[in-house]
């Protein structure tokens, strides 16, 4: 098949029979037409269509090494710095289309599969068959242009104990049966973003296993179709209100549904089991395979597009209400400009300083990307929304809806709600966007999502400190202290 069109994606989604629960309703068919999922599915369909747009085709796709069909560039195994740049160019097209508000576009998990498909040395520590299986799965996903989501962590029940101890060991998803032809999974996992509109669910290690015998049933990696028997998704309530793109410019386009996954004795055939047991390898799943590096390369590309969007939005607001000349406003704009340029520099440095792995994959420099993934969630992302709120102030609350511009009060609205540069309706449209980007339910979910994107920021910081080579720097300090 190769790269799919949007219609092909929607047709397959509608043909699937998942078990979804949302707003008290059970949904098992025609997902792409359901009100809770339709808008996001249509947005993802547009991403698929971009692969066939003559303006983007050669960036978003390349010729498959096995079939010659055009397939997604996010499946390209990087062998050089130029390949990393090529992958980033493809990431940028999708990221700029959504302005970074779609956090689970296909190129994210595709990047993971691309790295894992080549990590022969890693899988050979357990059994080479695992590496062979995931390579075949990667090729299947590439040739069929599948959209995958993933789930990582146990349910948030009692965080004072490990996942294997919650509910007597019966809450977190675990292997309850090993058969000759596969395994059976029972329990729950969080938090599968875009699950209702995906083709596949990747269930990868949580990376927080302790390596005790009790952890063995929770040590696995596998993939299942989104409508596998026994697989259930419990979705959160929607964040939009079903209003127009004028009133909800972001939520109406880019809201990605999140869901808790329940495995009710889900059978996973052997060919879809990529690791079983070996908690020490589960904990090294991302670091030793290169998956973490390729995934973070995609993420930083996306967050750059998002930061650029907020710089553009802040600049538009400043121009609209005549505050661009104030020094405190310029200071904030300067801060946003710095964020943008630092993220660009991070990407270039990660690519330029990349190296070939033992498996022959050219991976971006991890230390650079790791710095970005620690910096953005806690330092940059919160400031983006804060600056928009500061610039907009009461303008975020003095907002007529689209329908008000068709009502009898239109003349007063046109008179009193215009801006220095915009008529009232255009001003309202701009500030509706600012509202959705900074204070709406959609914006709140985005802030939470970005803050915990890679996990607990405190734990991430600890991991960065423990892994970073600081001894040479300490030696410089000791050398200075020892001088006469």
- Is 367 a member of any domain? yes
In a domain, residue 349? The reply is yes
User: d(Cα 247, Cα 250) in Å, to the nearest integer?
Assistant: 9
Nearest to 363 by CA among 351, 345, 371: 351
Burial class (CB in 10 A: 0-12, 13-18, 19+), 219: buried
Report how far residue 166's alpha carbon sits from residue 218's, in angstroms, rounded to the nearest whole number: 12
Q: Is residue 305 in a domain? A: yes
Residue 122 domain flag:
no
For position 207, what pLDDT does the model report?
66
What pLDDT does 160 receive?
65
Q: 301 vs 85, 150, 360, 374, CA distance in Å?
A: 11, 20, 23, 15
d(CA 270, CA 26): 30
Bind-site residues for substrate:
104-108, 150, 206-207
| DSSP strand pairing (273-276 vs 220-225) | antiparallel
Task: Determine the Cα–Cα distance for residues 362 and 472; give it in Å rounded to an integer.
Answer: 26
Work out the number of other CB atoms within 10 angstroms of the CB of residue 434: 26
205 close to 174: Cβ distance less than 8 angstroms: no
What is the span of the domain harbouring residue 472?
287-482
Terminal alpha carbon distance of the chain: 72
Q: What is the CATH number of the domain that holds 447?
A: 1.20.140.10
Distance CA 16, CA 373 (A): 35
Q: How far is CA 130 from CA 53, 162, 165, in A?
A: 37, 26, 28
CA 240, chain centre distance (Å): 20
Rounded CA-CA distance 79/355 in Å is: 9
Q: Which residue positions form the known binding site for FAD?
A: 150-152, 156-159, 193, 456-459
Per-residue pLDDT, 216? 85
- Residue 163: inside a domain: no
Cα 337 to its chain centre, rounded Å, is: 23
Q: What is the pLDDT along the chain (484 residues), one digit of tens a residue?
A: 899 999 999 999 999 999 999 999 999 999 999 999 999 999 999 999 999 999 999 999 999 999 999 999 999 999 999 999 999 999 999 999 999 999 999 999 999 999 999 999 999 999 999 999 999 999 999 999 999 999 988 888 776 676 666 677 789 999 999 999 999 999 999 989 999 999 999 999 976 666 677 788 899 999 999 999 999 999 999 998 889 999 999 999 999 999 999 999 999 999 999 999 998 999 999 999 999 999 999 999 999 999 999 999 999 999 999 999 999 999 999 999 999 999 999 999 999 999 999 999 999 999 999 999 999 999 999 999 999 999 999 999 999 999 999 999 999 999 999 999 999 999 999 999 999 999 999 999 999 999 999 999 999 999 999 999 999 999 999 999 999 8
Q: Is residue 32 part of a domain?
A: no
What pLDDT does residue 211 have? 67
56 is a domain residue:
no
Between CA 100 and CA 480 the distance in angstroms is 46
Which residue's entry shows tokens 């928009």? 388
Strand partners, 276: 220
DSSP collapsed to 3 states, 386-448: HHHHHHHHHHHCCCCCHHHHHCCCHHHHHHHCCCCCCCHHHHHHHHHHHHHHHCCHHHHHHHH
**327: exposed, middle or buried (C-beta count within 10 Å: 0-12, 13-18, 19+)?**
exposed
Q: How far apart are CA 133 and CA 231, in angstroms?
A: 22
Question: What does pTM read for this prediction?
Answer: 0.95
Question: And the tokens for 153?
Answer: 């962590």
- Number of structural domains found in the chain: 1
Feature table: binding site: 104-108, 150-152, 156-159, 193, 206-207, 456-459
213: in domain: no
Rounded Cα distance, 396 and 393, in Å: 6
How many Cβ atoms are within 10 Å of 265's Cβ, its own excluded?
12
């Amino acid at each position: 098949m190769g790269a799919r069109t949007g219609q092909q994606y929607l047709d397959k989604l509608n043909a699937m029979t998942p078990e979804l629960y949302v707003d008290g309703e059970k949904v098992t068919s025609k997902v792409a037409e359901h009100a809770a999922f339709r808008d996001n599915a249509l947005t993802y369909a547009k991403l698929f269509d971009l692969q066939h747009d003559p303006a983007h085709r050669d960036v978003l796709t390349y010729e498959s090494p096995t079939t010659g069909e055009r397939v997604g560039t996010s499946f390209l195994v990087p062998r050089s710095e130029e390949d990393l740049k090529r992958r980033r160019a493809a990431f940028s097209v999708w990221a700029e289309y959504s302005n970074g508000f779609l956090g689970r576009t296909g190129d994210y998990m595709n990047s993971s599969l691309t790295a894992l498909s080549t990590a022969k040395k890693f899988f050979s520590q357990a059994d080479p068959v695992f590496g062979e299986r995931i390579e075949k799965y990667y090729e299947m996903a590439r040739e069929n242009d599948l959209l995958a989501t993933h789930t990582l962590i146990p349910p948030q029940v009692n965080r004072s104990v490990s996942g294997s101890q919650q509910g007597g060991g019966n809450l977190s998803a675990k292997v309850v049966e090993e058969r000759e032809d596969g395994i059976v999974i029972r329990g729950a996992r969080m938090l599968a973003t875009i699950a209702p509109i995906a083709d596949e669910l990747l269930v990868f290690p949580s990376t927080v296993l302790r390596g005790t015998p009790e952890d063995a049933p929770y040590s696995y990696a596998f993939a299942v179709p989104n409508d596998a028997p026994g697989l259930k998704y419990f979705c959160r309530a929607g964040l939009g209100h079903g209003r127009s793109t004028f009133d909800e410019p972001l939520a109406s386009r880019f809201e990605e549904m999140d869901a808790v996954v329940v495995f009710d004795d889900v059978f996973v055939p052997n060919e879809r089991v990529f690791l079983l047991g070996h908690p020490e390898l589960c904990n090294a799943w991302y670091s030793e395979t290169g998956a973490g590096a390729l995934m973070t390369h995609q993420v930083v590309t996306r967050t750059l597009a998002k930061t650029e969007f907020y710089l553009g939005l802040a600049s538009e607001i400043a121009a609209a209400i005549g505050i661009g000349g104030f020094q405190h406003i310029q200071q904030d704009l300067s801060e946003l400009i710095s964020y943008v340029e630092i993220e660009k520099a991070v990407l270039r440095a990660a690519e330029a300083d990349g190296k070939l792995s033992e498996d022959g994959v050219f991976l971006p420099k991890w230390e650079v990307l790791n710095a970005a993934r620690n910096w953005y969630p806690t330092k940059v992302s919160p400031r983006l929304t804060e600056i928009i709120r500061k610039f907009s102030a009461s303008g975020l609350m003095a907002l007529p809806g689209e329908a008000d511009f068709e009502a009898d009060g239109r003349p007063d609205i046109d008179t009193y709600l215009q801006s220095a540069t915009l008529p009232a309706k255009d001003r309202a449209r701009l500030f509706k966007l600012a509202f959705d980007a900074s204070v709406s339910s959609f914006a709140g979910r985005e802030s939470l999502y970005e803050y915990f994107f890679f996990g607990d920021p405190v734990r991430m910081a600890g991991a960065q400190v423990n892994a970073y080579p600081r001894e040479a720097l300490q030696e410089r300090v000791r050398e200075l202290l020892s001088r006469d």
